[in-house]
């Protein structure tokens, strides 16, 4: 499809002055040039490209592989228990609306809320920094600061953690 070449051309143009453009061009061409049956497969390939580029080694597992049941908080709790978590790390989106912290606390599961602060890193050109670009912008343009961008500081203290629950682990 033409969209693949269009995306590759756009990305190449946007990062052509980046010091690591050539390093990542082949990998991006492989990911974007492949014929994906499902959008999620392209998303997974892109995520893995970025994880490798930023040296993020935190183990990942898809919830569909865990054979857990439930809805909303019960499902999140089941997933956390299945992977041996001591706390649920909630994003800035949907779970804020339905997460029942008391249900997690009753199961001795802590909760931590993500507090994302967009990193600022070098981008090509003379325009002011533009945040929220494609995920691949970070590794391609941020060679000197990659490690700091990937894990700038330890997670913030949990909003709620039962006294007997261990602190959430931070790993790379």
Contact 160, 108 (CB under 8 A): no
pLDDT of 146 higher than 60 = no
Lowest-confidence segment of 46-55, 70-79, 125-134, 150-159 by average pLDDT: 150-159
In the beta sheet, which residues pair with residue 160?
Answer: 111
* Tokens describing residue 128: 């002011």
- Three-state SS at 39: helix
pLDDT band of residue 46 (cuts 50, 70, 90) is confident
Mean pLDDT of 153-162: 44
In the beta sheet, which residues pair with residue 112?
Answer: 89
pLDDT of 18 higher than 60 = yes
Mean pLDDT of 9-29: 74
pTM of the model: 0.65
- Three-state SS at 117: coil
pLDDT of 83 higher than 90 = yes
Between residues 169 and 37, which one has the greater pLDDT?
Answer: 37
85-93 LR contacts (CB < 8 Å, sep 24+): 85/109, 85/168, 86/110, 86/165, 86/166, 86/167, 86/168, 86/169, 87/111, 87/112, 87/158, 87/161, 87/165, 87/167, 87/168, 88/112, 89/113, 89/114, 89/155, 89/168, 90/114, 92/116
pLDDT of 111 higher than 80 = yes
Question: What is the distance, to the nearest Å, from the Cα of residue 78 to the centroid of all Cα atoms in its chain?
Answer: 21
pLDDT of 105 higher than 90 = yes
Contact 24, 134 (CB under 8 A): no
Q: Which of 115, 112, 48, 107 is nearest to 81 (CA)?
A: 107
Between residues 121 and 166, which one has the greater pLDDT?
Answer: 121
The C-alpha atoms of residue 101 and residue 6 are separated, in whole angstroms, by: 45
């Amino acid at each position: 499809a033409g969209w693949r070449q269009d995306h590759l051309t756009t990305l190449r143009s946007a990062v052509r002055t980046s010091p690591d453009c050539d390093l990542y061009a082949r990998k991006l061409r492989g990911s974007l040039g492949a014929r994906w049956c499902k959008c999620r497969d392209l998303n997974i390939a892109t995520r893995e490209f970025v994880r490798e580029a930023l040296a993020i080694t935190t183990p990942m597992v898809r919830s569909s592989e865990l054979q857990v049941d439930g809805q909303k908080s019960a499902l999140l709790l089941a997933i956390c228990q299945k992977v041996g978590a001591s706390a649920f790390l909630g994003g800035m989106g949907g779970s804020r609306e339905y997460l029942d912290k008391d249900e997690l606390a009753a199961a001795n599961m802590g909760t931590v809320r993500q507090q994302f602060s967009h990193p600022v890193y070098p981008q090509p050109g003379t325009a002011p920094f533009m945040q929220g670009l494609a995920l691949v912008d970070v590794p391609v343009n941020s060679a000197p600061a990659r490690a700091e961008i990937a894990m700038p500081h330890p997670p913030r203290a949990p909003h709620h953690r039962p006294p007997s629950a261990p602190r959430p682990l931070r790993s790379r």
